[in-house]
Amino acid sequence: MPQASYEYAVGRISQLSTKMLDATKLRRIYEAGSVQESLALLLETGYGGNLSPEHIASEEIDYVIREQLQTSRKMVWEVTPAPELTSLFLLEVDGHNLKTLLKARLLGVEAPDVLIDGGSFPLDQLKECVASSNYDLLPDAYRTAMNRIEAELARGIDPLKFSAEIDKAMFRHIKNVLDKKNDHSFVRDYFSLQADFQNARSVIRARLLNWDVDKLRLMLLEGGEIDLNVFLEGMDTPMEQLGAKFNRGKNGKLISQSVEEYVTTGNASVLKRKMETALMNVLRSVKWDMFSLGPIIGYLMGREAEAKALRIIFGAKRGGFEYELPELYA
């Protein structure tokens, strides 16, 4: 049950944060003699909780990661003094589950075991909503989006479109909650920055794939600092001027520099890396604010980044190639 005290919550989270994996620990895990030895080293750090030896033998790194993430989400949910704001950072889990459940229903198969517990909405509730095509239990933004998807499905299946609708619903819901609470904390900064970066990435993607403006419009997310019309106009802006075009609002300079680096290098992954670093910097800026949600969300999203890093490392270990870590919180 959520707690009323930031002092208590941050105290609990601070203890857990000391066990997070930094780049040095991750390198040591990667350099172990075998995948099984790497997994054993990981479990020695306390990652994954009290897992039994057979999980080591079976080399199920995904299982270990899911166990740790579920434990971390549960802990954060138990101690947070601000459950509604905290829930916004769990919405990506719900988006994943909604997309997975809907795809499974359309294919006429059981939902796969990649469904994830620990989102903002109970997993059983999402299962029931999708199975019955009734979304009345979901917040307005999600209900409207899912009803629109159901209507579209009667005319044909477009996975890209329904995936985009669910992503847009997430950011619309976030904006609705923040506006209702008149919240102008790091939480708004985080999601505003994410929306602007994702929109800039969508413009680049649209141009690379020769999409029209209507298809780009479907992908654009609400809640950023930069007006959506600016991104639509970016479709006709000369590539060398695109960075300057996006230099609007407090996120504009960073996004402009990132786009200019992409134009210079031709490496589209630049935008993703810059976004990850910028988002983590927002969380680091409130890491030591002991009377706010900052350290709690930092821990939660730090665990998510850690999980991504572990998947990369174990994939590189099995494939015998070098890795590049995502931005870490630890």
Cα 245 from Cα 248, distance rounded (Å): 8
Burial class (CB in 10 A: 0-12, 13-18, 19+), 237: middle
**If you search the block for the tokens 């910097």, which residue do you land on?**
281
Task: Give the alpha-carbon dihedral of 174, 164, 129, 187, to 10 degrees.
Answer: -20
| Predicted local distance difference test score (pLDDT) of residue 2 | 56
Specify burial of residue 306 (Cβ count, 10 A radius: 0-12, 13-18, 19+): buried
Q: What is the pLDDT of residue 320?
A: 87
Let me know: does 56 contact 40? Beta carbons within 8 Å: yes
**Sign of the dihedral defined by the CA atoms of residues 246, 252, 258, 264, in that order:** positive
150-162 residue pLDDT tens: 999 888 878 899 9
Res 56: pLDDT: 60
Can you list the residues of the chain whose pLDDT is less than 50?
A: none
Comparing CA positions, the residue from 72, 91, 96, 93 lying closest to residue 13 is 72
**All domains of the chain in start order, with CATH:** 6-82+294-319 (1.10.132), 86-284 (no CATH)
- Segments in the chain forming alpha helices (H): 6-17, 23-30, 35-44, 53-57, 61-79, 83-88, 91-107, 123-132, 140-153, 159-180, 186-208, 213-219, 228-233, 242-245, 252-265, 269-284, 294-319
62 contacts 315 by C-beta, under 8 angstroms: no
Closest by Cα among 27, 23, 5, 4 to 322: 27
- Could you tell me the CA-to-CA distances from 111 to 136, 193, 230 in Å, in that order? 21, 33, 39
Instruction: Write the burial class of residue 205 (CB in 10 Å: 0-12 exposed, 13-18 middle, 19+ buried).
Output: middle
Spatial separation of the C-alpha atoms in residues 317 and 73, rounded to whole Å: 27
The overall pTM is greater than 0.85: yes
Q: Which residues contact 265 (CB under 8 A, 6 or more apart)?
A: none
Of 307, 220, 203, whose CA–CA distance to 263 is shortest? 203
